[in-house]
């Protein structure tokens, strides 16, 4: 019997940037020490910590991981690549590329940011890495510090739904989402866990 596996997905700390930061490498703002202490106390002590290779994820992981093993950062766990939309506000994108922007925000499988990734490419990148990592896990748990889109993609996998059904879901900075692999099925066990929730 294959043991259950818990993945604790943590969204990185805020950056203070208002534009789209997919692959744009910006630092995290780590002034919320109470929430960082909550992450340290809530997450399992015996789990290693895995992160995207982008600075905001690495900064967040280092700020709470304590004595946990911090694994080398992984490019496959980056946010979706917004291409020519990187750094721009959604309002300015709608002004310059209204039709494509509206299709993308309604359902990212129907449009691709110019020069960026399609949702299908993005999902495959993340899913392939998760599958590869699972192949070396023998039960237990892993903590992963990553990004809004990455976490949403894994919720989509667990719920086996269209991404359009999840668009607009909020995933706050620092929040914890726990997905458990039971046999061949992912189960959403906890969503948006924060202090006081």
Q: Profile the chain (197 residues) by mean pLDDT over runs of 10 residues.
A: 88 94 96 97 97 98 97 98 94 89 91 95 98 91 98 97 94 98 95 92
Please report the pLDDT score of residue 109 as a whole number: 93
CA distance 166 to 106: 10
Tell which residue, 14, 5, 43, 80, has the closest CA to residue 195: 43
Q: How far apart are the first and last CA of the chain?
A: 34
- Which DSSP symbol is given to 83? G
Place of tokens 């991981």: 65
CA distance 30 to 104: 31
Type and span of the H or E element at 142: strand 140-146
Please report the pLDDT score of residue 66 as a whole number: 96
CA distance 128 to 93: 30
Please report the pLDDT score of residue 96 as a whole number: 87
For the beta carbon of residue 16, count every other beta carbon within 10 angstroms. Answer: 9
Please report the pLDDT score of residue 97 as a whole number: 86
List CB contacts of 95: < 8 A, sequence separation 6 or more. Answer: none
Predicted structure pTM score: 0.95
Please report the pLDDT score of residue 1 as a whole number: 52
């Amino acid at each position: 019997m294959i043991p259950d596996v818990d993945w604790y997905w943590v969204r990185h700390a805020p950056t203070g940037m208002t534009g789209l930061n997919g692959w744009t490498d910006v630092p995290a703002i780590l002034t919320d020490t109470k929430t960082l202490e909550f992450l340290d106390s809530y997450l399992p002590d015996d789990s290693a910590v895995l992160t995207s290779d982008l600075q905001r994820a690495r900064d967040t992981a280092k700020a709470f991981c304590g004595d946990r093993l911090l694994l080398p950062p992984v490019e496959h766990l980056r946010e979706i690549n917004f291409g020519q939309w990187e750094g721009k506000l959604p309002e300015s994108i709608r002004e310059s590329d209204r039709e494509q922007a509206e299709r993308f925000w309604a359902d990212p499988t129907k449009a691709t940011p110019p020069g960026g990734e399609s949702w299908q490419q993005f999902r495959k990148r993340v899913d392939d890495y998760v599958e590869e990592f699972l192949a070396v896990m023998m039960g237990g748990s892993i903590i992963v510090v990553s990004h809004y889109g990455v976490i949403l993609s894994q919720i989509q996998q667990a719920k086996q739904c269209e991404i359009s059904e999840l668009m607009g879901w909020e995933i706050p900075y620092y929040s914890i989402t726990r997905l458990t692999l039971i046999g061949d099925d992912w189960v959403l066990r906890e969503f948006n866990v924060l202090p006081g929730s």
